[in-house]
Amino acid sequence: VKKDVKKAFEYKLKGAELGDDYCQSCVAYDYENGIGVKKDEKKAVEWYLKAVNQGNVNAMCNLGNMYEKGKGIEKNESKAADMYKMAAEKGYATAQRNLGWLYYEGKGVQKNMKEAAK
């Protein structure tokens, strides 16, 4: 089929509205980046939260990034660390790296070089 990001977004949204956590995370990502839909970081946060509540590790990491950068939500490095930690504990490598960086910098957590290296 011909690539159609708007149509793809519509299908992802249908799945998200039916409660699929993967689709919810995809919809959030699309809102965050304006893929097939007008960019809306607040809606991205809403959809990431829905996916996080179902245990989606990708959404945990991406929501952590939203908190860390203050995108679509008030900047909160402590909550970013919490999101990264939840995903990191489930083996999500990107979240492990991001959490390590926060420990290295002492942002949102007590600076801890051992935890950063871990």
Would you state the pLDDT for residue 82?
97
Q: In whole angstroms, give the CA distance from residue 75 to residue 13.
A: 27
What is the full per-residue pLDDT of the chain (118 aa) written as tens digits?
A: 999 999 999 999 999 999 999 999 999 999 999 999 999 999 999 999 999 999 999 999 999 999 999 999 999 999 999 999 999 999 999 999 999 999 999 999 999 999 999 9
Q: Residue 89 carries which DSSP code? A: T
Would you state the pLDDT for residue 112?
95
Q: In whole angstroms, give the CA distance from residue 27 to residue 15.
A: 9
Record the tokens describing residue 16, joined without a space.
């998200």
Q: Residue 107 carries which DSSP code? A: S
Whether this prediction's pTM lies above 0.75 is answered by: yes
**Residue 26 C-alpha from the chain's centroid:** 10
Would you state the pLDDT for residue 33?
98
